[in-house]
Amino acid sequence: MTTTTSRSLAIAAKGLHKAYGDKTVLDGIDLAVPGGTVFSLLGPNGAGKTTVVKILSTLIGADAGELRVDGHDLAVDPQAVRAAIGVTGQFSAVDGLITGEENMLLVADLHHLSRREGRRTTAALLDRFDLVAAAKRPAATYSGGMRRRLDIAMTLVGDPRIIFLDEPTTGLDPRSRHTMWGIIRELVADGVTVFLTTQYLEEADELADRIAVLNDGRIAAEGSADELKRLIPGGHVRLRFADRSAYRSAAVALREVTADEESLTLRLPSDGSQRELRALLDWLDSADVEADQVTVHTPDLDDVFFALTSGADKPAEAVR
């Protein structure tokens, strides 16, 4: 039963375990990624995201676990897995000394495409990734965004059905990041399965059908972005005062607030509903207390991330 299910998934892991020496990095994790979806693995630095990608893409072995990619058992048929996947890692496969086009042709050779087919695929992908004008220039002259696009174009030469993208937008400016998101969406629209690791929660929120948060060697939570947001307590209203005495009277009178004397700010748990806001504003009016600024904050993936990965670099206000 389990086997049938895991065979029909693009990626399935059960009890994945990996240690480096006596340091356990992955302590029995389970993953299930249906075909044609984007799955995002989130986690603080050093959580083991790259290790998961390396294991699932057959670059390193696991210590234990039942692992299937594209229906193939990694322990039995890693070659079949390699034929089905593409990997774009944090360390670019692009050779800076040769041109973008030559990089592509080299990969086409590695995939044993005929000369004609290699040229055709290269031309099509360079066009698709807006690299035609730069095709004859050494890749070392490319910007970070162009290099990343070339990297993905090279990954697509073998027409993989499953792609691992390890932090594909780290270091890119917002425009290049949005271009990359567009590329990922197009891939998924074509039926490709994308396994994405990222440190940008906004990226997972934008792209991923399902998100897993890796922490301390385990999956701390998994679900759609909305499901994860529902896991943590509701939002809050923040009141900022220009005046210290107004701040103090409000801090004394309002119960269940988090107070920050330095920035003259109070934070109250709130669902952000009109009813709650009206009650709060009415109270401020009746007490003749004037807040300089009122902001409503609904939970976002950042809150989820900080709540689940305690011990990571969390801002002071993230979790109480």
Ligand X SMILES: Nc1ncnc2c1ncn2[C@@H]1O[C@H](COP(=O)(O)OP(=O)(O)OP(=O)(O)O)[C@@H](O)[C@H]1O
Instruction: Using DSSP, state whether 270 is helix, strand or coil.
Output: coil
Min separation Cβ 177 and ligand X, Å:
17
In the chain, DSSP assigns E strands to 11-20, 23-33, 38-42, 64-69, 72-73, 85-88, 162-166, 193-198, 210-215, 218-223, 236-240, 258-260, 265-269, 293-297
List the structure tokens of 21. 């020496």
CA distance 184 to 209: 12
Is the Cβ of residue 22 or residue 262 nearer to ligand X in the bound state? 22
The residue among 297 and 314 lying less far from ligand X, judged by its C-beta, is 314
> Measured from the CB atom, is 24 or 249 closer to ligand X?
24
Nearest approach in angstroms of CB 188 to ligand X is 23
183 with 149: CB under 8 angstroms? yes
Helix (H) or strand (E) holding 156: helix 144-156
CB of 51 to ligand X, least distance (A): 3
Q: Which is nearer to ligand X, 54 or 229 (CB)?
A: 54
**Rounded to the nearest whole angstrom, what is the least distance from the CB of residue 15 to ligand X in the complex?**
18
Residue closer to ligand X by CB (options 49, 229) is 49
Minimum Å gap between C-beta 202 and ligand X is: 16
Residues that bind ligand X (CB under 6 A): 20, 25, 43, 45-51, 199
